[in-house]
Amino acid sequence: MRELNKELYRKLYLVRRAEEKICVHYPEDDMKTPMHMSFGEEAVVVGVCHALGDAGQVFGTYRSHAAFIAKTEDTDEFFSELYAKETSSLKGKGGSMHLCSPRHGFMGTSAIVASHLSVAAGAAFANKRQKNGKIVAAFFGDGAVDEGVFWESLNAACLMKLPVIFVCEDNGFAVHTPATARRGYASLPRVVSTFDCHVFESDSTDVEVVHALAADALQRMRKEEKPCFMNLKYYRYLEHVGINYDFEAGYRPRNEFEQWYEKDPVRVQRAKLLRLGVGEDELLRIEAEVDAKVSRSVALAQQAPLSHCSEAHNGVFKCDR
Amino acid sequence: MPKMNMVQAINLALKEEMERDPDVVLLGEDVGKNGGVFRITEGLHSLFGAERVMDTPLAESGLVGAAIGMAVYGLKPVAEIQFMGFIYPAVDQIFSHAARIRSRSRGRFTCPLVIRTPYGVGIKSPELHSESSEALFCHMPGIKVVVPSSPFAAKGLLTSAIRDPDPVLFLESTRLYRLVKEEVPEGEYTLPLGKARVVQEGKEITVIAWGSMLHKALQAVDGYDAEVIDPMTLRPFDEETILSSVKKTGRVVIIQEAPKTGGFGAELSATIAEDAMLHLKGPVLRVAGCDAALPLARLEDAYMPSVERMRRAFDGIMKY
């Protein structure tokens, strides 16, 4: 259990550190891509991705820094893409919002909320037909549930018994509008539970709890072939897009954030490790390794040449170079 | 060689490709047991089973999105949209994902998807059942747009479209489905995407028309020394064949069923102006549908390019 908790902490810390580096360097204006930050959702994403494992496939949204790093740990690729450098395999054509890394099972992300859910269902169909045993996890925000295609995809996945987990990263806001102002129903999990799927919910910021829940979901899926729906609450620390707090915008009070920040996922997990008898020196060693990895990735990305301007024309059809 | 109409030719192309490649799957509303609105998939459900010929929920965005997922992650889906006007809910999926997943992933993902849909007038039903909105899709980089004008072309082009590594929108004229019969070989043959066909040679006017308009144009050119070109693929279109004909005749009339403004004819006209201006004897003319939603059947003839309107354009351009 200690080893699992250490590994989960390492991933949480890696996600957090990478995003903190963005906050340091973004004002230099060399990363020219809008940033939708993951601060606050680390436990949700790391818990699910770690349970899913290397063989699983992940689809994400425009807010997928955490998912990309949790699934791939490839911070070299991450920063070189944010800086739009030649060394990125996407050559600066994806940016923060359209990250992908097929070799790591990170299948792609979309800026149109919910539009990727039917694509994820299609991928799950392909996996099922190919009998390769792969399970798809599709992340989306609670705002995506307002879109028709969320319901189309959920319905199709339940009807066809597809191996897909729909993971609602529920931060309670569609940009600035709270769920209560958007929904003609009280409880999303209750509505979804009328579909033929397994439903799970949690508001924990403890990555171990989320991991256990996701592992349970995967086990039930393997036993009884049905999709899963997970409603995982978290609190978005920063503004919808950008690297700042936005409590002055008036749509949410600072004390709401402070209550959640009391149980910040990174701090919660660190305190737990200390309680479990992991020494401070060992934690410092894990953190130092992560710090070095992230700093190295940022430096490599900064030094690399910009993607060539001819890339603007490439890749539209197969015949292109 | 058997004579077939376009419905039979498309059905045969689907059947042969499904026999050849187990990754080819069909999906759409009522395409399974029922065989589809226009009977295109008739018999395929019983031949290949519900696993490969799937009736989907009535949800165009969901079904096209799922087809994109299938295509990107290992299968070769052919999705049917019942009428072109019903594709609009799925445009989000087509534009946001299918068109750009190759570019976005820098070639790591490809999307070998075909979306088939009947387009244009033909069943005397207004607007959304008779749309010709091909220009919308031609505008979006990353999608190929194919319009066959005969059973032979339909089979060869659809086979190529299914084997193509990129997403293809395959537009089938409802009016042509059962209008023309011609000899269509059984067994494999392909027609390349992006290649036009010179349907008839001539020296004085280049007439460009696709889909069902080609047949009306062929009636209209009787008595004129016209070269008639069927682009067959609108995106990417065969500039070379079109420009070399224009350079020969110096006169161009483009015929399209779609509304005039911003239609695909405008793109052809602009390309000709850019690359063959000095060869032109007069203005590039367009004969097109009206800038309005397609009306009820009683007004359909007023809306559609008629043989008379085409001949007025030919006479007009021959004055130069």
Tens digit of pLDDT for each residue in A129-152?
Answer: 999 999 999 999 999 999 999 999
Residue B192 lies in a domain: no
A175-179, A316-320, B39-43, range with the lowest pLDDT: A316-320
Q: How far apart are CA A123 and CA B70, in angstroms?
A: 5
Q: Given 3-state DSSP classes, what are the helix, strand and coil percentages for chain B, each rounded to the nearest 5?
A: 40, 20, 40
Mean pLDDT of A9-28: 98
Q: Report pLDDT for A47.
A: 98
Residues 6+ apart with CB under 8 A from B88: B60
Examine the fold and report which residue of B128, B150, B183 is the final residue of a domain before the chain moves on. B183
Mean pLDDT of B87-98: 96
Pair B122, B230 in one domain: no
Whether B199 shows a pLDDT value over 70: the answer reads: yes
- Confidence grade of residue A309 (pLDDT, cut at 50, 70, 90): confident
- Confidence grade of residue A310 (pLDDT, cut at 50, 70, 90): confident
Pairing of strands A164-170, A228-233: parallel
A307-311, B57-61, B296-300, range with the lowest pLDDT: B296-300
Pair B178, B37 in one domain: yes
Residues 6+ apart with CB under 8 A from A37: A19, A22, A23, A63, A65, A237, A238, A242, A243
Q: Report pLDDT for B296.
A: 80
Token pair belonging to A157: 């996945």
Give me the residues of A, 63-92, that contact B with CB < 8 A. Answer: 89-91
Q: Report pLDDT for B308.
A: 96
Question: Which residue does chain A place closest to B72, by CA atoms?
Answer: A123
Residue B191 lies in a domain: no
Q: Report pLDDT for A96.
A: 93
Q: Where are the domains of chain A?
A: 2-51+113-304
Best probe of the B interface among A33, A99, A101, A118, by most B CBs < 10 A, is A118
- Confidence grade of residue A319 (pLDDT, cut at 50, 70, 90): low
Examine the fold and report which residue of B151, B183, B215 is the final residue of a domain before the chain moves on. B183
What would the pLDDT profile of B206-256 be if each residue is shown by its tens digit?
999 999 999 999 999 999 999 999 999 999 999 999 999 999 999 999 999
Whether A4 shows a pLDDT value over 80: the answer reads: yes
Best probe of the A interface among B106, B163, B169, by most A CBs < 10 A, is B106
Note whether A46 and A125 are within 8 A (CB): no
Pair B211, B175 in one domain: no
Q: Pick from A90, A112, A159: which is nearest to B96 by CB?
A: A112
Q: How far apart are CA A321 and CA A310, in angstroms?
A: 10
Question: Which residue does chain B place closest to A156, by CA atoms?
Answer: B57
Into how many domains does chain B fold? 2
Q: Pick from A118, A130, A314: which is nearest to B62 by CB?
A: A118
* Order of strands across the sheet that contains A57-61: A106-110, A57-61, A136-141, A164-170, A228-233, A198-202
A102 and chain B in contact, CB less than 8 A: yes
Between residues B58 and A208, which one has the greater pLDDT?
Answer: A208
Q: Pick from A111, A130, A318: which is nearest to B166 by CB?
A: A318
Mean pLDDT of A164-185: 94
Across chain B, mean pLDDT equals 96
Contact B73 A107 (CB under 8 A): yes
Best probe of the B interface among A106, A112, A119, by most B CBs < 10 A, is A119
Pair B306, B229 in one domain: yes
Share of chain A above pLDDT 70, in %: 99
DSSP collapsed to 3 states, A88-138: CCCCCCCCCCCCCEHHHCEEEEECCCCHHHHHHHHHHHHHHHHCCCCCEEE
Question: Which residue does chain B place closest to A159, by CA atoms?
Answer: B57
Mean pLDDT of B259-284: 97
Whether A320 shows a pLDDT value over 60: the answer reads: no
Contact A115 B102 (CB under 8 A): no
CATH code of residue B117: 3.40.50.970
Contact B102 A121 (CB under 8 A): no
Q: Report pLDDT for A82.
A: 95
Whether B95 shows a pLDDT value over 70: the answer reads: yes
**Residues in chain B closer than 8 A to A57 (CB atoms):** 73
Q: Report pLDDT for A315.
A: 81
The residues that bridge with B209 in the sheet, in sequence order, are B255
Residue B95: how many other CB atoms lie within 10 Å: 18
Look-up: residue for tokens 């707090």?
A245
Question: Which residue does chain A place closest to B27, by CA atoms?
Answer: A122
Q: Report pLDDT for B295.
A: 82
CATH code of residue B293: 3.40.50.920
**Residues in chain A closer than 8 A to B70 (CB atoms):** 122-123, 125-126
What would the pLDDT profile of B173-194 be if each residue is shown by its tens digit?
999 999 999 999 999 999 999 9
Name which CATH class applies to A2-51+113-304.
alpha beta
Fill in the DSSP letter of residue A242: B
Pair B13, B161 in one domain: yes
Contact B106 A93 (CB under 8 A): yes
Question: Which residue does chain A place closest to B110, by CA atoms?
Answer: A318
Contact B107 A315 (CB under 8 A): yes
Q: Pick from B56, B97, B104: which is nearest to A94 by CB?
A: B104
A131 and chain B in contact, CB less than 8 A: no
Pair B37, B177 in one domain: yes
A267 and chain B in contact, CB less than 8 A: no
The helix/strand count (H/E) of chain A reads as 11, 8
Residue B301 lies in a domain: yes
Read off φ and ψ for residue B116, nearest 5 degrees: -100, 135
Residue B188 lies in a domain: no
Mean pLDDT of A74-88: 96
Nearest-CA distance A295 → chain B (Å)? 25
Pair B71, B30 in one domain: yes
What would the pLDDT profile of A239-281 be if each residue is shown by its tens digit?
999 999 999 988 999 999 999 999 999 999 999 999 999 999 9
Pair B83, B204 in one domain: no
**Residues in chain B closer than 8 A to A118 (CB atoms):** 61-66, 68-69, 93
Best probe of the B interface among A125, A151, A313, A319, by most B CBs < 10 A, is A125
A148 and chain B in contact, CB less than 8 A: yes
Q: How far apart are CA B77 and CA B70, in angstroms?
A: 7
Pair B164, B224 in one domain: no
**Residues in chain B closer than 8 A to A130 (CB atoms):** 74
Pair B140, B253 in one domain: no
Question: Which residue does chain B place closest to A320, by CA atoms?
Answer: B107
Q: Please give the interface size between A and B, counted as residue pairs whose CB atoms are below 8 Å apart.
A: 142
**Residues in chain A closer than 8 A to B146 (CB atoms):** none
Whether B264 shows a pLDDT value over 70: the answer reads: yes
Domain range for B309 = 197-318
Nearest-CA distance B284 → chain A (Å)? 29
Whether B124 shows a pLDDT value over 90: the answer reads: no
Residues of B with CB under 8 A from a CB of A: 25, 51, 56-57, 59, 61-75, 77, 89, 92-93, 96-97, 101-110, 141-142, 144, 165-166, 236
**Residues in chain B closer than 8 A to A315 (CB atoms):** 102-103, 106-107
Between residues B106 and B195, which one has the greater pLDDT?
Answer: B195
What would the pLDDT profile of A232-243 be if each residue is shown by its tens digit?
999 999 999 999
**In one letter, which amino acid is A76?**
D
Tell me which residues of B are annotated as active site.
129
**pTM for the complete prediction?**
0.88
Residue B190 lies in a domain: no
**Residues in chain B closer than 8 A to A108 (CB atoms):** 72, 101, 104-105, 109
Q: Report pLDDT for A321.
A: 41
A77-86, B242-251, B294-303, range with the lowest pLDDT: B294-303
Pair B18, B49 in one domain: yes
Best probe of the B interface among A317, A318, A321, by most B CBs < 10 A, is A317
Question: Which residue does chain B place closest to A105, by CA atoms?
Answer: B73
A289-298, B124-133, B301-310, range with the lowest pLDDT: B124-133
Contact A94 B73 (CB under 8 A): no
**Residues in chain B closer than 8 A to A98 (CB atoms):** 104
